[in-house]
Amino acid sequence: MNKKVFMLVVALFLGFISLFAQHGTDNSDEEICTHILTELQQYSNNTTAELVVEAGKLLMNTPYVAHTLETEPEQLIVNLRELDCTTFAENCLALARTTKARKPSFKQFKNELQLIRYRGGEINGYPSRLHYFSDWILDNDKKGTVKSVSQSIGNTGFSKTINFMSQHPTSYKPLKNNAVFIEALHKQEQELTKTKLYYIPTEKLELLKDQIKDGDIFGITTTVDGLDITHVGIAFFKNDELHFMHASSKAEKVILSEQTLYEYLANRDSVSGIMIARPL
């Protein structure tokens, strides 16, 4: 083989490896998924919410990495090696639901993850992903993967204009110079703004915490203009105090919080409370 042909083969091989990694199809993801599903089988008779907690424990210390879903064109990304706060919650819910399935498998896990992550469970470009977590709760409530319980627990309206993404398109690579996507996101934001939302204010959390359950998935609401939720976690009681599991950018990994959820919220600016989705 001459040098030019050899270099071409090497380039093609490296390109294939790069594409393979970019598309989130690393074999290690299937291995991690299979291992977790095997471990979860001993809890298969538990509720989905209880399985979410067990899945979270098995993903503890996984590195925090942001923007792992940002590929073009939009496609289902499976990455159990690196998690942010939202993908941590999504993967735990998908693993829990897969465990409850008749035949748990990596294929079933991917089906569950797509159902959870995309509007109506269908992938149709970047705007089909559920970018706003309040919208994620609403859509997953419709699909029957979770039940929105913020109204029944807090009964406090969350009224706000949601428009952060369409107002800051340069902050999102797929939105840069893409007027079609920006317009689609803008229409979704308008619908979300018109929707009656509920939350549990921080100051009410201690009084209402007994109505929250292990495995509840929550989003932390914010006072930042245009945004609904800035962080996501999974409720977990420790010594009768409400803590939570989350992928922490500060700790750079998935952790169980040392602070109670109330302490965490009360010590942060621009935080107003939480919205809760209960796994079904």
Q: Give the C-alpha separation, 3 to 11, whole Å.
A: 12
The pTM score is 0.91
Q: What is the per-residue pLDDT for 1?
A: 53
Per-residue pLDDT of the chain (280 residues; tens, 9 = 90+): 554 443 343 334 334 433 444 444 578 999 999 999 999 999 999 999 999 999 999 999 999 999 999 999 999 999 999 999 999 999 999 999 999 999 999 999 999 999 999 999 999 999 999 999 999 999 999 999 999 999 999 999 999 999 999 999 999 999 999 999 999 999 999 999 999 999 999 999 999 999 999 999 999 999 999 999 999 999 999 999 999 999 999 999 999 999 999 999 999 999 999 999 999 9
Is residue 247 within 8 A of residue 253, CB to CB? The reply is: yes
What does the DSSP 8-state code read for residue 200? E
Angle at 68 between CA 191 and CA 96, to 5 degrees: 75
Q: Give the C-alpha separation, 218 to 103, whole Å.
A: 29
What does the DSSP 8-state code read for residue 32? H
What does the DSSP 8-state code read for residue 239? T
Q: What is the per-residue pLDDT for 27?
A: 87
Fold observed for domain 3-279:
Putative xylanase fold (1.10.3670)
Short-list 150, 154, 192, 94, CA closest to 278: 150
Q: Give the C-alpha separation, 51 to 253, whole Å.
A: 20
- C-alpha dihedral sign at 175, 180, 182, 187: negative
- Token readout for 164 is 């952060």
Q: Count other C-beta atoms under 10 Å from residue 141's C-beta.
A: 16
Short-list 262, 273, 278, 241, CA closest to 155: 273
Q: Give the C-alpha separation, 88 to 232, whole Å.
A: 9
